[in-house]
């Protein structure tokens, strides 16, 4: 079965640079979530989109922005990168918005390293 | 206090034994609960979800939910070395996001 696709899988940037992470949800899934996982930490929710509208927002820095496009893929844009932004970034998708009974399936992640 | 609490472990069990993983949550209004398995450097993989009080079984895995005690558990029967991973308990928040516990590291010894 098709899974969530994320690109790139690895990204190395310098401080103050920008980065764009892409997420392609499972076909027919209309909801996308972004999570950040630092070393030894649990995943922390950043932001989510349902039917191309922002549906929830978590601890996402103002330097980050995201959107969901008409084909339901999503992009996370990160500017003025800091060393502390180095982490695994996961995208997850589900069907039917953020309802309580909607299972979220995670992509393989993008490992961002900021030097 | 974290919204979702797990023992970080490591929890070590011999091959073939039952591994018991526990999780408590603080939001009494939470309705759905998920267990994910995560191998080092990989993405969380959904193992089970549970919404109703009681037990839910799927193969070697059994999830247990007690909403009155705000307690969720995962039992792994006939544990295998390949089950060695970090197990993340997640609680669905009303806004749609998952709130994760810090994870329990499980080690199954041959």
Q: Which residue of A has its CA nearest to B41?
A: A88
Q: Which residue has the tokens 């349902």?
A: A50
Set of chain A residues whose Cβ sits within 8 Å of the Cβ of B97: 33, 45, 48, 56, 58, 98
State the pLDDT confidence band at B7, using cuts at 50, 70 and 90.
confident
At B77 the pLDDT is 98
Reported as a single tens digit per residue, the pLDDT across B23-52 is 999 999 898 999 999 999 999 999 999 999
Enter the tokens of residue B6: 């797990």
Q: Does A25 touch chain B (CB under 8 A)?
A: no
CB contact under 8 Å between A56 and B49, yes or no, is no
Nearest by CB to B43, from A33, A48, A106: name it.
A106
CB contact under 8 Å between A108 and B88, yes or no, is no
DSSP per-residue codes, A16-63: T--EEEEEEPSTT--EEEEEEE-TT---EEEEEEETTEEEEE-S--TT
Mean pLDDT computed over B74-95: 94
| Long-range Cβ contacts of A36-41 (<8 Å, 24+ apart) | A36/A87, A36/A88, A36/A89, A36/A90, A37/A87, A37/A88, A37/A89, A37/A90, A37/A109, A38/A86, A38/A87, A38/A88, A39/A87, A41/B102
Mean pLDDT computed over B66-78: 97
| Residues within 8 A of B (CB atoms), A 67-106 only | 88, 90, 92, 97-106
Enter the tokens of residue A81: 């990168």
State the pLDDT confidence band at B94, using cuts at 50, 70 and 90.
confident
- Cα A9–Cα A11–Cα A14 angle in degrees, nearest 5: 170
- Per-residue confidence in pLDDT tens, chain A, 115 aa: 789 999 999 999 999 999 999 999 999 999 999 999 999 999 999 999 999 999 999 989 999 999 999 999 999 999 999 999 999 999 999 987 666 678 999 999 999 999 9
């Amino acid at each position: 079965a098709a899974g969530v696709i994320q690109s790139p899988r690895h990204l190395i940037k310098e401080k103050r640079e920008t980065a764009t992470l892409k997420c392609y949800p499972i076909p027919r899934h209309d909801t996308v979530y972004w999570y950040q996982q630092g070393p030894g930490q649990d995943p922390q929710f950043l932001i989510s989109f349902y039917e191309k509208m922002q549906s929830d927002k978590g601890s996402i820095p103002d330097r980050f922005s995201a959107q969901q496009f008409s084909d339901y893929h999503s992009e996370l844009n990160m500017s003025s990168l800091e060393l502390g932004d180095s982490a695994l970034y996961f995208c997850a998708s589900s069907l039917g918005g953020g309802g309580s009974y909607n299972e979220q399936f995670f992509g393989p992640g993008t490992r961002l390293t900021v030097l | 206090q974290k919204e979702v609490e797990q023992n970080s472990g490591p929890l070590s069990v011999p091959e073939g034994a039952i591994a018991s993983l526990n999780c408590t949550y603080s939001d009494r209004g939470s309705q759905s609960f998920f267990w994910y398995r995560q191998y080092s450097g990989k993405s969380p993989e959904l193992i089970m979800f549970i919404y109703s009080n009681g037990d839910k079984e799927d193969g070697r895995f059994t999830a247990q939910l007690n909403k009155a005690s705000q307690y969720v558990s995962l039992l792994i029967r006939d544990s295998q070395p390949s089950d060695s991973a970090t197990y993340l308990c997640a609680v669905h928040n009303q806004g749609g996001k998952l709130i994760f516990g810090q994870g329990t590291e499980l080690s199954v010894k041959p």
